[in-house]
Chains A and B, each alone.
Chain A
Amino acid sequence: MDIRAQVSMVFHLDKCIGCHTCSVACKNVWTDRPGAEYMWWNNVETKPGTGFPTLWEDQSHYKGGWELKGRDGNKKLELKSQNKIDSFVKLFYNPNQPGLEDYYEPWTYNYANLFEAEAGDDQPTAIPVSLITGEPMNIEAGPNWDDDLSGSTFYAENDINLEELSDEEREQLFEIERISMMYLPRICNHCANPSCVASCPSGALYKRGEDGIVLINQDVCRGWRACISACPYKKIYYNWKTGKSEKCILCYPKLETGQIPNCFQSCVGRIRYLGVLLYDADRAAESMKVPDKALVESQRTAFCDPFDPEIIKMAKANGISDEFIKAAQLSPIYKYVMKWKIALPLHIEYRTMPMLFYVPPLLPVMGKMANGIYTNALDNFFTSLDKSRLPMKYLARLFSAGNEDIIEYVMKKLMAVRYYKRTLDMQDIDLVMMNKMMREGGTTPEEAEEIYRLTAVPTIDQRFVIPEIQREESIESTCNPEICKGSCGIGVIQPPTRGL
């Protein structure tokens, strides 16, 4: 076993309010500069929807992630975007990379016209102009174009995760009976089997040893952009000004000083959790070599119990500090992913072993229309799973590579917690019914209480368990800590040079 520590994440989608504060908190700090205008290291998508860049989930087009090849006993993972020969050919030609039309043309307005227009008998206005060309432009796309089901029959209907729904089910989704939406905030998944790292011809991408953050060394990147194609989540962006690629850095300068990454700290809905997961690096790629529907459970076999003395021993042998092990034991991620099994990876069928997990949302119950009169199809007190507005099939496509049993297990547990809390406070739910819900959700009163507390009333320290970094150890590799102590500590500064 090769035990590694990863700073991992959970997004509780039931709590997401779609405010995009995370996107703005990230944008303002990291990508508010020329060449990065169109980059949204953090974005929030409305689902059903086509996302950003448009239809990024369509790997038949973008060819991101890994493909499972080979026969039983000799299964192997190959990059979908390139094979060994390809990687040379495609150095200069990247047909699967999204273009400006898949992102959007950034714009501003000629505000000055409001003040400088010549006197006339009508009010002046500030028209949109391109931030790239400076010319007037027609705005036809943006980084959040289908927010809140805007253009729903044009965009949402083309969400590829709806593929397996029957025509009738698809149609209903855009009628009063079933219309629904949820929000999907996305940052880099900081995968444990990252296809972007594997694809880089320059070796500029790497997964950091101490916390698993995936980074691009700006000094090494030569702007080949293979990573952009290889990342199935389209979370690497090319900076046209510097000629290098950039991506989410999980605010590592903040993490290293015990601070919370921007998008996490600013999360208004309090949906985000951050903590350490221990995993077996030997199992990372291996666990991704099973059929789609087995992937979620297979991924879990790569995660390690931070309380197991054997694991702790091996972790220490691998140089993982006591602080990281303690953080792994207190980790909210471990609870959501391994203990309660209610947080799931996004599109694990891309087989990159994403290390960001989502608790799927509970959505309202569907309704019936008869002669223009609406009735909710509700049999239970709370919303129900079999009559939920978004079909389980759809959620399974997003979060369990199509395995509906896994989604159902999660949803039943979430519902059981609500029934449990209701009964505790109000005693107005039939006990037989309550016990049935608890049984089906595979939970106990103790667990339900624990889930409730971490979901609804956690403190900031419970949501974000950031491992303490031993600065002296990282300094040691380059200079004597005693000498370093007396210097200003800015480190090595090299101006980036254009890659090509």
Chain B
Amino acid sequence: MIAEKSSKTIDVQINKDVLVVGAGKAGLTAAAQIAAQGYKAVVIGNKTACACGAGCSKEMQDAGLVEIQDGTSLVDIAGVAGDFRVTLGKGEETCEVTFGAVVVAPQYTGVPLNSAYGLALNDKVISQTQLEALLADDAGKEKLVNGSGSTVAFLSGFGQEGDPTATGRVLASALEIQKLENCRSYIYAGNVKVGAKGMERLFTQGRNEGVVCFKPKTMPTIEQDKENVKIVITDPVVRADVELEPDYVVVEEGVVVGPDNLGIAQTLGIDADVDGFLPSNNVHRFPVKSNREGIYVAQNDVDAANVALQVKALIGDGVRTLTEDIAVVDDTKCVICLTCYRCCPHGAIFWQDGAAVISPAACQGCGICASECPMDAIQLGEFTDADLKSGVKEAVASAADATPSIVAFCCKNSALEAGEAAAQFGHEMPAGFRMVKVPCAGKVDVDFIMNALVEGADGVMVAACHEGNCKAERGNIYAGWRVEEIRQRLENMGLNKDRVVFTTIASNMAREFACKVNEFAEKL
């Protein structure tokens, strides 16, 4: 029986308030931008920036469009986009509040990286922040000048690779120091990070005003005793050691992910990148989306604007049209093994009344759950198992006259695009090559592949997005595992395992895709 193809839609009322987790500059700016679109923004966390300065005007606050709950923290979250039920806590007290969307504005802390240079902080070895504090007023500047002037050495980019923001702070301070009587700045940098607006000009200005910049290949040799610090590098041009005993050494600061950041990410069920920064490094989520619908990340003003766009597109006027049958669980088959709950990359699966339930508000339709379900209890409205099997049957039948016949399960986000492009651009492809569209390679389960072989395909290709480029985060990885499993099965049965291959491709690489398909056909 083939399930009805047409999707059923339903309009649901959703909550229009937005929770902003993080009351630094980015969080408050996001709140202001969201409030400017007419939605109420509730900001929690420890407030570290001026609300008015971030655009949260007094009018907005008076009108209740921006509500800042300084010191309140995120305890727990349930529900889905449009209906997040959030537990907030302050001290011993907790309360539950409903929000339509959630914005995370992580606050990272800077720590001096003195130990990376083998230095102990003291009166003369200070952090960039401490130096900026000294330069902020006359008393501090006088201390730096210390009667007869000082030399100040900056260490930058050896403890951590650094970025234009850090380099900008070093250059600004170095230029300030050059202005002080008899004071000189020396910068020891790994790579001078000028990759941001105005930075090359700032760097050039520094050089013109006498800031000396050394760029040794490796970290300078640094000796610190009670009183003094000696920095030694080898200059390749004069081929000699260059020694400096500065009056002050300024060490760079590294940005670190604190336990708070990781805790918030874990509570919200969103992925971080390898360094622990939010969100995960997936181009399809860029700039502000997370792996969960309705949860966004803002790190700066530009992100804040993009978050407001996303919130507006999600919440609109408070009614959201959802497709009911993106993925549906057959509750007569479900045994609540929780496989689907564990493998869903989008936090869209819950359970109630003895069966798993997939929320159409959070499901992104990848179908990983449907393939992983041991009871075959999950069907996607647009891609039912019956549809896919008949699709495979048709594909093999239509290619029956050609040798070899190849069925390629193509992810609609990448391989399908590349394949269509290859056809349109007239790149040569084998006559028996047929594509079967899948929502994500994660939807391709072992049965479909076996099915294609049983129907008579000479070869089966599963074509997914490159690792790290999957819209469902891990759909391509599941697909790779399943292909490997089948290849082993074929080998165990004494069959040629190379009749089934897994490959990854990008949507814009038509020629490369054609080359890969031709290579496969050649081998068959």
Partners in one complex: no
Binding site for A on B (CB under 8 A): none
Binding site for B on A (CB under 8 A): none
